[in-house]
Amino acid sequence: MVAGAAGAFLLAVKETWELAEHLEWSRLIFAAVIAAMVVLALIPPSIATSRASAERYAA
């Protein structure tokens, strides 16, 4: 499961790189887009984990 997610992430990075080259973005903008992708990918699992922890301790 993790290998599939890692592969999908690397594919997204490759496609983003090709888009950045096509649109002539600087490397700084590309890095910012990748950082945003990572943050946005980590938000839902962290919310789910915090909710599960809150429910476990509330019971």
pLDDT of 42 > 70? The answer is yes
Radius of gyration of the chain (CA): 16
DSSP assignment of 13-38, as one string? HHHHHHHHHHHT--HHHHHHHHHHHH
pLDDT of 6 > 90? The answer is no
Q: How far apart are CA 28 and CA 34, in angstroms?
A: 10
Q: Which residue has the higher pLDDT, 13 or 48?
A: 13
Q: How confident is the model at residue 59 (pLDDT cuts 50, 70, 90)?
A: low
Q: Do 37 and 12 form a contact (C-beta atoms < 8 A)?
A: yes
pLDDT at res. 19: 96
Tell me the two tokens of residue 49. Answer: 């984990």
Q: How far apart are CA 35 and CA 57, in angstroms?
A: 33
